[in-house]
Amino acid sequence: MPLQVPTILVLTPRTITVELAGVAARDQLDAVLDWRLVASGDVMQEGQAGRPVLTVEGLVPGIAYGLEIAGFGGLDFTAPRESALIDIRDHGASKAADNSAAFAAAIAAAPAGATIYVPPGVWRTGPVFLKSDLCLHLPHGAVLKGLAERQAYPILDAFDAEGKMQASWEGVPAACFASLLTAIDASHIAIAGKGVIDGAGAEGDWWDWPKETREGARRPRTVFANRCVDFAMAGVTVRNSPSWTIHPINCRKAMFADLAIENPADSPNTDGLNPESSSDVEIVGVRFSVGDDCVAIKAGKIWPDGRVPEPTRNVSVRHCRMERGHGGVVIGSEMSGSVTDVTVERCTLADTDRGLRIKTRRGRGGEVARIAMRDCVMDGVLTPLAINSHYFCDPDGRSDAVQNRAPAPVDKTTPHLRDVTFAGIVARNVHHALAYVLGLSESPIMGLVIEDISVTYDPQAQAGVPEMAEGLPELRHGGIITENTTNPIIRGIAWPGDSNSRERAS
């Protein structure tokens, strides 16, 4: 049987990121694998891979290479040619200056197919606006760092001059400070290398006003892509975000591979990666340690004028490690445009509050359907599976209209949840409950499957509320609690000390 060949995730003129497709490993390989990069019979680079994704930089555009990884078939590829290599220093960049003008000049000078080169060193700048057919190359040792002063960040209005949504906050159009890296209405953009993008959230006052506006605007992200096609990030570390770290909205074909996303545990609302109203999104081999949700998949809220946002469809999350966040993979609570066809596979979650979490409420409408988490390991997760149709978000979230458990009329603002699979999970040191599932009485959750789960409990666990809805009990070492679900399938649960694997559900 022929050996499986690694899959190319992102290929730029100077970097390649591959996935060791077909491996059963989660975020780490069972053993390190030797690799080498060959050109014209000569070994150009060599090293070891310890994870199912690998980024190699230092390619020369236009050169044919072979990538050899022990246990895999050889991968032959040619580094794409670039129309120009634009060094930011040639446009006035200095390590002791505000480099906003230098970045703008370098990008303005770049023809289609060019690479913007950020050399090793720390380069401070205000927001950088990317354009189509461009690669931003951040090699090892390069740090693109935001300025601390709020005055360095222009404000993006909610809508542009043509009436198109330009900036968004929690699911609706809203004025926001421009993000450190901003791309709007662009295509074929890659941000690649082993450098760092530092949003400077730890500086200035960004984390002092998480839910407020200042100067009439909301906080910036670190990377924001709006209506982009073929948007890719590979290899880089993104840290210290002022708010959500990476936020693609209304995008198609987005790839996020071999990234590290790092925000302090106490930094407010610093979600890791938030695809919103986007389709065909892949999140592969990303390491998360953040101050809120690691992956938050969204589809907006119904706009004040009644418009419904675009859906989010076809999202794949695999080989990722998620630490310390409020949730591992979270869907909602902004999901009015519907979120469908999400698969989470071969991931590791450690010390997050929730594992797979779906949250919505009356008034949102939309559908969440065909969601699957399989073959994942969770350790120290308070509640591995949480589904909440009475989530108390927004100013009216605790109102009777949202929290009342009696059936309400079904209309276009009624959310619907169906076909959620939670299978092949190892859940160690659970605190509150293995699963807490709360549907709407007028729109019960359909097609819920919980199967083939191995569970142990943290002996030091403290009782706590498993979800954010009114009237829920505090739980410690709970099993599977479901309310307003239609014929859930629950089977193959290995409870601690239970050799017969009985289903402990209520």
CA distances from 61 to 89, 117, 129 (A): 21, 13, 25
Q: Name residues whose C-beta falls within 8 Å of residue 96's C-beta, 6 or more positions apart in sequence.
A: none
Return left, alpha or beta for 338; rule: phi > 0 is left, psi -120 to 50 is alpha, else beta.
Answer: left
The helix (run of H) or strand (run of E) holding residue 471 is: none
Structure tokens at 87: 């060094």
Cα 243 to Cα 272: distance, rounded to the nearest angstrom: 9
**DSSP conformational letter for 103:** H
Amino acid at 401: A
Query: 326 an active-site residue?
Result: yes
Give the torsion through C-alpha atoms of 178, 179, 183, 189, to 10 deg.
160
Active-site residue, from 27, 258, 292, 293: 292
CA-angle at 310, arms to 304 and 316, nearest 5°: 135
Amino acid at 455: V
Cα 56 to Cα 194: distance, rounded to the nearest angstrom: 9
Residue ranges of alpha helices (H) inside 54-93 are none
Q: Of 125, 93, 120, 102, which is closest to residue 200 (Cα–Cα)?
A: 125
CA-angle at 428, arms to 423 and 433, nearest 5°: 75
Q: What is the CA radius of gyration of the chain?
A: 23
Cα 435 to Cα 44: distance, rounded to the nearest angstrom: 50
SS3 content of the chain, % helix, strand, coil (to 5): 5, 45, 50
Q: Cα 156 from chain centroid?
A: 23
Q: Of 303, 294, 432, 279, which is closest to residue 364 (Cα–Cα)?
A: 303
Residue ranges of alpha helices (H) inside 345-493 are 400-403
Give the torsion through C-alpha atoms of 247, 253, 259, 264, to 10 deg.
10
Cα 290 to Cα 352: distance, rounded to the nearest angstrom: 10
Residue whose entry in the numeric block shows the structure tokens 């990317």: 130
Structure tokens at 503: 């289903």
Active-site residue, from 91, 137, 247, 326: 326
DSSP state letters, 358-379: EE--TT---EEEEEEEEEEEEE
Strands 155-156 and 128-129: unpaired
Assess contact for 482 and 435: CB atoms under 8 A: yes
Query: 477 an active-site residue?
Result: no
Structure tokens at 292: 């809120």
Assess contact for 241 and 273: CB atoms under 8 A: no
Q: Please list the active-site residues.
A: 292, 326
